[in-house]
A and B are shown apart, each in its own frame.
Chain A
């Protein structure tokens, strides 16, 4: 890598910024708009996932630049930022869902428990079983509620008998807080549920394969406040057993459910920190503007 450090004001030039800088922390109190380096502590004591120098390209277009961040075990970390800044893109790097996009290219290091998830030896199918995902729009399969949850365990051969499968399906629905509502209608199509119920079904479906990390991309954006509250409650409970990454546009939601928050802006990771600190005492001008509603 080049050794010259270019102090530049244009966003275009920051793309050429040496990778070595990415992990550095700034010592300034409140960083200026022009600083595109990540502010705040990107490392944690017990990281579940470690990401360094992650660049993502869609064809020739770069969507993420030199993102470096740790994701702490049994923590909820929230990704916030204006639309199009690359939150979903980064989230999809974490379970290699970007592999399904032909034009997408990912460089840099992403580790799950010290294992490089982009290493050739890694089986992406097993990886995704360890890192589950819940999408913005509830997307239950056009199958029965039972079959939706049983899908993952079946393909991974997690159970041997029908009784075990029943047990697992019920446990997953219970943990997703949905069992009471669907106990009597397990064989109804998953699409017959309400939006909030569908989203909890998708969460149940994800936790049925017993992942270590759950990625959630705006899981509540299609839901009303009551359904949202239920899911937030659920996220808080799930934290005990899982590591959770949530993308959200709601500052309040980030404040309510997460322990750490990362603010993205136009393809750069601008600031990372304890959620309390980010929302009360942001260190970067851009973050401050965003959370005070002056921008985004």
Chain B
């Protein structure tokens, strides 16, 4: 029904476009240069007048109609139904909706319910028909208004560009508002959490066992919410990952940009970037099934005790995953160092390695730091590999051979499964999320700052 209306509206707008364009030709007497704007702008102008107001009304109407209809139906119900407490009323309304749409109903409908369902159905029909009428009238009226307004002096291009401008602004703010929304929702839940668990315990506590009692008399009824082991685990795994990724990534970048032939580079660079495209869950398999057992065997051969799930396994695989973040970006920044710098160095009798270490790397350093920080953000946020390879136990340890857990993994485990939404256990996930957000935000700001500084380098 409503999608048909939308389609009709689009067709009308397309029609409006051609009407407007032809009208522009007509008022110009066939001489386009008499017009203020090109004819297609007059077409777009008419199409916008036809489609935009109708669309806005349509959107508002479509969101309001269901609740208005329900209000009307409820007010027409017999008092014993109407005066039910809100949650029971909700059930009744749900039943009503199911009845209308022909779904299974929780109880056999009585006369009052059937009556209400009828009224609901009728109201819906009336609503839809009047929606059609209103929208079509608006569309035609809008098109007619624009059509009449078309004259050679009408600044159609400016008007259309204004609308496009608005659209661009809206699109650019979507991301911003989403971020703000996410932050706020996480922030409010975190505040709830900090009411139940003191913030100092959360920030500085070294015990993490987020068990809360279902009943007050349950044993071990209070959990511990010290996030230090989690951040330590994150730090450990990310650290191992960076130890792998930074040297390998940098050397790969240097080879690609300075030593490889253009042909080799054209093949090798995209191939390296494929690493970043492998789903992390696949890396997780690799870490849990291949790397972790390997490390355990090597450890056993050397007489070390290695847990079957170890930070080392997760960190190594994560490091491999983020190699392309370091190598690809670093390669770009090293390449961006002007050829004149290389020439200047070679002309002084510098060797290739001297040129790289003394001119290229220092010149590209800010960009390289930026790429490393981006890789760190990626490592901190990574979850899947850690779940599969590093385990869930919140050990506070610096030993990479033991199992650790990370912030993101704990968030996942806290929120999966059936949970009460106001228990400290669930709310803790939001507090962790907030902390993580702040940490990665700071890293990103530093990275952006460094990258911006790099841009000014050779000016």
Asked whether A280 is an interface residue with its Cβ less than 8 Å from the other chain, the reply is no
Contact: B348 with A151, CB < 8 Å? yes
Q: Give 13 A-B pairs besides A139-B341, A143-B362, A155-B348 with Cβ atoms closer than 8 angstroms.
A: A97-B346, A100-B342, A125-B350, A128-B347, A128-B348, A128-B349, A135-B340, A139-B343, A140-B344, A141-B363, A151-B359, A206-B348, A209-B348
Nearest CB to that of A205 among chain B residues?
B348
Asked whether A176 is an interface residue with its Cβ less than 8 Å from the other chain, the reply is no
Q: For chain B, residues 206 to 236, give those with C-beta under 8 angstroms from any C-beta of chain A.
A: none
Contact: B458 with A191, CB < 8 Å? yes
Asked whether B338 is an interface residue with its Cβ less than 8 Å from the other chain, the reply is yes
Asked whether A126 is an interface residue with its Cβ less than 8 Å from the other chain, the reply is yes
Asked whether A129 is an interface residue with its Cβ less than 8 Å from the other chain, the reply is yes
B346 contact set on A, CB distance < 8 A: 97, 100, 128
Of B349, B354, B359, B459, which is within 8 A of A141 by CB? B359
A143 contact set on B, CB distance < 8 A: 362
Nearest CB to that of B349 among chain A residues?
A129
Asked whether A54 is an interface residue with its Cβ less than 8 Å from the other chain, the reply is no
Q: By CB atoms of chain B within 10 A, which of A127, A129, A142, A205 has the most?
A: A142
CB-defined interface of A138-160 with B at 8 Å, one 1/0 digit per residue?
Answer: 01111100000001100110000
- Per the bound structure, the CA–CA distance linking A191 and B338 in Å amounts to 14
Asked whether B3 is an interface residue with its Cβ less than 8 Å from the other chain, the reply is no
Contact: B345 with A151, CB < 8 Å? yes
Asked whether B67 is an interface residue with its Cβ less than 8 Å from the other chain, the reply is no
A202 contact set on B, CB distance < 8 A: 344
Contact: B343 with A135, CB < 8 Å? yes
A137 contact set on B, CB distance < 8 A: 340
Contact: A132 with B347, CB < 8 Å? yes
Q: Give B393 Cβ to nearest chain A Cβ, in Å.
A: 49
Asked whether B351 is an interface residue with its Cβ less than 8 Å from the other chain, the reply is yes
- Per the bound structure, the CA–CA distance linking A158 and B183 in Å amounts to 59
How many residue pairs link A and B with beta carbons under 8 A? The number is: 71
- What are 27 contact pairs spanning A and B, CB under 8 A? A95-B347, A97-B347, A125-B349, A125-B351, A127-B349, A129-B349, A132-B347, A132-B348, A133-B347, A135-B347, A139-B340, A139-B343, A139-B344, A141-B341, A141-B345, A141-B359, A141-B363, A142-B363, A142-B458, A151-B345, A151-B359, A152-B350, A155-B348, A155-B350, A155-B351, A191-B458, A209-B349
B359 contact set on A, CB distance < 8 A: 141, 151
Quick one: given A100-B342, A135-B340, A139-B338, are A191 and B459 in contact (CB under 8 Å)? yes
- Per the bound structure, the CA–CA distance linking A41 and B458 in Å amounts to 44
A127 contact set on B, CB distance < 8 A: 349
- Per the bound structure, the CA–CA distance linking A141 and B458 in Å amounts to 9
- Per the bound structure, the CA–CA distance linking A129 and B350 in Å amounts to 8
Q: For chain A, residues 205 to 251, give those with C-beta under 8 angstroms from any C-beta of chain B.
A: 205-206, 209
B354 contact set on A, CB distance < 8 A: 155
- Per the bound structure, the CA–CA distance linking A156 and B359 in Å amounts to 15
Contact: A97 with B343, CB < 8 Å? yes
Q: Give A138 Cβ to nearest chain B Cβ, in Å.
A: 9
Nearest CB to that of B337 among chain A residues?
A142
Asked whether B457 is an interface residue with its Cβ less than 8 Å from the other chain, the reply is yes
Of B342, B349, B363, B458, which is within 8 A of A155 by CB? B349
Asked whether B455 is an interface residue with its Cβ less than 8 Å from the other chain, the reply is no
Asked whether B358 is an interface residue with its Cβ less than 8 Å from the other chain, the reply is yes
B362 contact set on A, CB distance < 8 A: 142-143
Q: What is A's interface to B at a CB cutoff of 8 Å?
A: 95, 97, 100, 102, 125-130, 132-133, 135, 137, 139-143, 151-152, 155-156, 191, 202, 205-206, 209
Q: Give B85 Cβ to nearest chain A Cβ, in Å.
A: 73
- Per the bound structure, the CA–CA distance linking A143 and B349 in Å amounts to 18
Contact: B347 with A142, CB < 8 Å? no
B345 contact set on A, CB distance < 8 A: 141, 151
A140 contact set on B, CB distance < 8 A: 344
- Per the bound structure, the CA–CA distance linking A172 and B98 in Å amounts to 91
- Per the bound structure, the CA–CA distance linking A141 and B354 in Å amounts to 13
Q: Give B141 Cβ to nearest chain A Cβ, in Å.
A: 63
Q: For chain B, residues 407 to 459, give those with C-beta under 8 angstroms from any C-beta of chain A.
A: 457-459
CB-defined interface of B349-384 with A at 8 Å, one 1/0 digit per residue?
Answer: 111001000110011000000000000000000000
- Per the bound structure, the CA–CA distance linking A205 and B344 in Å amounts to 9
- Per the bound structure, the CA–CA distance linking A209 and B354 in Å amounts to 15
- Per the bound structure, the CA–CA distance linking A137 and B344 in Å amounts to 10
- Per the bound structure, the CA–CA distance linking A132 and B346 in Å amounts to 10
A141 contact set on B, CB distance < 8 A: 341, 344-345, 359, 363
A133 contact set on B, CB distance < 8 A: 343, 347
Nearest CB to that of A208 among chain B residues?
B348
Quick one: given A142-B362, A155-B354, are A126 and B340 in contact (CB under 8 Å)? no
Nearest CB to that of A153 among chain B residues?
B348
A142 contact set on B, CB distance < 8 A: 341, 362-363, 457-458
Q: Give A169 Cβ to nearest chain B Cβ, in Å.
A: 14
Of B262, B343, B358, which is within 8 A of A100 by CB? B343
Q: Give B11 Cβ to nearest chain A Cβ, in Å.
A: 58
Nearest CB to that of B354 among chain A residues?
A155
Contact: B349 with A156, CB < 8 Å? yes
- Per the bound structure, the CA–CA distance linking A97 and B359 in Å amounts to 17
- Per the bound structure, the CA–CA distance linking A193 and B261 in Å amounts to 36
B458 contact set on A, CB distance < 8 A: 142, 191
- Per the bound structure, the CA–CA distance linking A135 and B348 in Å amounts to 12
B344 contact set on A, CB distance < 8 A: 135, 139-141, 202, 205
- Per the bound structure, the CA–CA distance linking A141 and B337 in Å amounts to 10
CB-defined interface of B100-122 with A at 8 Å, one 1/0 digit per residue?
Answer: 00000000000000000000000
B262 contact set on A, CB distance < 8 A: 102
B338 contact set on A, CB distance < 8 A: 139
Q: Give B266 Cβ to nearest chain A Cβ, in Å.
A: 14
B459 contact set on A, CB distance < 8 A: 191
- Per the bound structure, the CA–CA distance linking A202 and B343 in Å amounts to 12
Contact: A129 with B348, CB < 8 Å? yes
Q: Give A195 Cβ to nearest chain B Cβ, in Å.
A: 13
